[in-house]
Structure 1
Amino acid sequence: MSRYLPLLLVQSPCRSADDVHALDAFEHEVATYLSDFGPDFEQPRMVVYPEIHLSAVSGTPEQRQAQLERAAEPIDGPRGQRLAQIAAKLGIWLLPGTLCERGEDGHLYNTAPVYSPTGERVAAYRKCFPWRPFEPYQPGREFSVFDIPGIGRIGLAVCYDIWFPEVARQLAWMGAEVIINQAATTTCDRAQEQVLVRANAIFNQVYVVSANTADPHGLGQSLIVDPEGRVRASMAGAGQGILTDVLNLDEVSRVRTFGTVGLNRVWDQRREGDPVLELPVYQGRMDFRQR
């Protein structure tokens, strides 16, 4: 039986962190998008929003910091509980964009939560590479994957994380077959970012889903890339809109078994008895026997 993952990617402007009605509008918007597909989908859709979709700030650095301090909540605070309820009500896997989390240590984190169709928070990834000096968040310290029963394993990366190949590689080594990259790229390097999305898919033979914020808060150009680096779907500009797709995670198995374009089997290059590769810059090693 094929492992299909129906996907709805929303390229949308951010909502203000100070907007007290943001969650009501968010629920209505998601429900409206889903209604276009009818009620008879057997497999719950995964709905993906961009980075900071519900936590946008503006103004001077001092004003942005003040807005974040007001908006920050524990990950399972009132806002998180409401998002869990929305996921359960609509019967979806919900990635609502990253939130400003107040950690148990008092620091602010740029955190990507995931909610299941039963209303359970199944993951919460703290962005490991905030874009300094613009982002005032504390860096996360752990990578995050979660399982969709019967379908496969999904890895999380946020915006600038995609510039660091170690992130996607670690997620792939943790078993991720799809990497969700939620972004809020406002700068002219979105073109390079699209190349990195494709490159990370090729390096690791995984799907990569990159959801970027729409105008006026971002440059859009969201895209979905397959395990051979081909663009399956994309938004040409920065306007608001949606991408839909159904990912067949068996394609990951096919590409890794037979190789990219039937040639490059990067996961099977090492042989029994090959030396372990020391990685002194990371104080670690690459040992394929542990994969």
Structure 2
Amino acid sequence: MAGTAAIGRAPLRIATWNINSVRLRLPLLTDLVAALEPDVLCLQETKCPDELFPHEGVAALGFEHRLVRGMKGYNGVAILSKRPLLMRAEDPDWCGKGDCRHLGASIDAPGGPIELHNFYIPAGGDIPDREKNPKFGHKLDFVAEGTAWSAARPAKRAIMVGDLNIAPLEHDVWSHRQLLDVVSHTPVEVAALTAWQQAGGWHDALRHFVPSDQKLYTWWSYRAADWRASDRGRRLDHIWVSPDLAGALTRHAVFKDARGWTKASDHVPVMVEIAP
């Protein structure tokens, strides 16, 4: 293992992936680590209670430090790190549901600790109407709470990642016109997520590298007979950084090939490298 000083001088690579069951797809983490070499990996939809999390298999990949918050069958988030982590204890219980959709941590980094937040925002069901669909209401309430939380504590030396389940920009979806009434790209969701981003002063780290007039996707539906040929994707997975870290971004990766893996998740890993 490299010495502490060597690690301290190296750039920090942070990846995020909706793994859609950590126990089912544990073998795929080997391929992800080989391709992206992340220092920190944030997972969503681990679908695993804490006592059954596969710590041994994850540790074998070099992630000595691990924080998990999971439940049986659905939701769940985890932060896996090669650098020391400290869990944040003061973060909210979003919408009072205790449904394992957020982990906050402090991570060792050059220049001082970095605050890291891993989110899994509710998908919101199929009907974009709060009255007809309580799941959609839950999604909007969650984002509203996140907005108020960020407004009260503007981001500083902070990174927010996760499956935010909203594609906010026109070229974050395969067809802006056809998806305007589809949950994840409706105007009310886009406005809500944009308000959250602005409230904290967050900088969109993926769009830092890929201009907003270029298509950028991280999710392709299981329903597509040939997902690569149709390429009807959406950018649901995001990495935001505080303004003081925006200038330290050095590169990014959207690991599209992961969507073609056997037993793939419908999301692909994304990563940024930062020299804080």
Query: TM-score normalized by structure 2?
Result: 0.50
Which one has a bigger Cα radius of gyration? 1
Query: TM-score normalized by structure 1?
Result: 0.48
